[in-house]
Amino acid sequence: MNGKSGRNETRVSALRRSAGWTQERLCEQSGVPVRTIQRLEAGNETSLETLSRIADALKVEVRDLFVTTDGAGFAAAIDGLDDRRARVRRHQWVLNIVGWAAISVGVLVGAGGAWSGPDRFFTYAIGGLVALTAGLWAVRGRPRWLPMAAVWVTAAVSLLYLLAFGWAWWVYGCVAVVVIALGALLTWLLVVETQRSV
């Protein structure tokens, strides 16, 4: 089997049409190339990873992508894949709770800076933004650019903090370069991740 779907008859085309989607729309939602979707709908082999991505996009179990799953090895692989996907969903649920808790703490801490006086405002703002950013990275279903925007805002507020408290220009410059380099690195990693998933 080697992680391939074999010659089992798929229902991908019917499921896609019942959702009112074109092959291009399924491609966008799953990150699977249109050519692969066409081959799968024509009855050709594909990897279990591809099947999992298509099932996620169509919001069905991998088993539901097939009319029948002939062969004990293939049926066992599909069952194992569905079990792993269920475990990932459970773990993601916990991550979502932790993420939303961090976002809430970030908002409360950041807002606390407004009442703490000007000497502590930036400390609270930076702490709140760090917690907010960590929460955004953990929460699933949010736009991919949102955590990156939070990182850049946190960096900008941190630099303003350093400037406001009169650090020497060379210290400020070094910190600014490090912050900008880290932000650029995170942005690049996000772009690479996005391109890899398409």
Q: How confident is the model at residue 172 (pLDDT cuts 50, 70, 90)?
A: low
Residue 26 has a pLDDT of 92
| pLDDT tens figures, 47-92 | 878 888 898 889 888 878 877 656 566 666 666 777 777 777 777 7
Q: How confident is the model at residue 7 (pLDDT cuts 50, 70, 90)?
A: low
Per-residue pLDDT at 193 exceeds 70: no
Q: Residue ranges of the domains in the chain?
A: 12-70, 89-197
Residue of 180 and 114 predicted with greater confidence: 180
Domain 12-70: CATH superfamily is lambda repressor-like DNA-binding domains (1.10.260.40)
Q: What is the 3-state secondary structure (H, E, C) of the chain?
A: CCCECCCCCECHHHHHHHCCCCHHHHHHHHCCCHHHHHHHHCCCCCEHHHHHHHHHHHCCCHHHHECCCCCHHHHHHHHHHHHHHHHHHHHHHHHHHHHHHHHHHHHHHHHHHHHCCHHHHHHHHHHHHHHHHHHHHHCCCCCCHHHHHHHHHHHHHHHHHHHHCCCCHHHHHHHHHHHHHHHHHHHHHHHHHHHHHC
Q: What percent of the chain has pLDDT over 70?
A: 70
Residue 22 has a pLDDT of 93
Q: How confident is the model at residue 4 (pLDDT cuts 50, 70, 90)?
A: very low
Q: How confident is the model at residue 3 (pLDDT cuts 50, 70, 90)?
A: very low
